[in-house]
Structure 1
Amino acid sequence: MKRDMDLVREILLAAEAAQAVVSAADLSVTGEWSDAEVLYHAAILIEAGYLAGTTLAGANGTPIAVTIARMTWEGHDFLDAVRDRTIWERTKTHLRKAGAGLMPALVKEVAVGLIRLGVGQIA
């Protein structure tokens, strides 16, 4: 399955809004993604250290259940960088124009750069 950074952002937004431990299937994710896509992305967010939780995999290694306990510091940092929809869209546009993929570290770096440019314009 291909990583979808729009879904990553939506899962992090939903995880932040959750008040308690939640299963990936119960997340309020906005969009047209299948349950399998949400489970997969929640599992890789746990692997990447953006979420703390557990993954139950089936015989073929595909996630069949994911429980999210909380967001991690790294998850909060990433979400804070891409929370604003305008910053998010501009970040994706800049990276695509540069021919770069939407790698989480690069996404965060570009988003923070755009935020810094905006902060400089406020003064």
Structure 2
Amino acid sequence: MTAKGHDFLDAIRNDTVWNKAKSGAAAVGGMTLGMLKDLAVAYLKQETAAKLGISLG
């Protein structure tokens, strides 16, 4: 598995992130796996920042 594959699996391990990513993909009518990974990683960063009390701006 590639590093990008590991990044994707790490991101969607969180149920909240996975559900947000699925909803985002459905809202636009679908997306590539690469786009879904990028979306999931972005949501994971948001979740992590919120837990740490950091604003990503």
TM-score (norm 1): 0.37
- Aligned mates of 2:42, 2:5 — CA distance in 1: 18
Deviation of 1:73 after TM superposition, in Å, equals: 2.5
For the pair 1:104 / 2:24, whether they are aligned, the reply is no
Distance, in Å, in 1 between the alignment partners of 2:36 and 2:49 is 20
Give the match for residue 80 of structure 1: 10
Could you say what secondary structure the match of 2:21 adopts? helix
Under a length normalisation based on structure 2, what TM-score does the superposition of the two structures give?
0.69
The aligned runs of 1:1-123 (5 Å cut-off) are 71-97=1-27, 99-122=28-51, 123=53
CA distance in 2: counterparts of 1:113 and 1:74, whole angstroms: 14
C-alpha distance in structure 2 between counterparts of 1:103 and 1:121, whole Å: 27
Contact kept, 8 Å, 1:92 with 1:102, in 2: the verdict is no
Across the aligned residues of Structure 1 and Structure 2, the Cα RMSD in angstroms comes to 1.6
Which structure exhibits the higher relative contact order, with contacts defined as CA atoms closer than 8 Å and separated by 6 or more residues?
Answer: 2
Q: Percent identity?
A: 33
Instruction: Mark the runs of 5 or more structure 1 residues left unpaired by the alignment.
Output: 1-70
Unaligned runs of 5+ in 2: none
- Mark the structure with the bigger radius of gyration: 1
- Once residues 72 and 82 of structure 1 are traced to their aligned partners in structure 2, the CA distance between those partners, rounded to angstroms, is 16
Higher strand share: 1
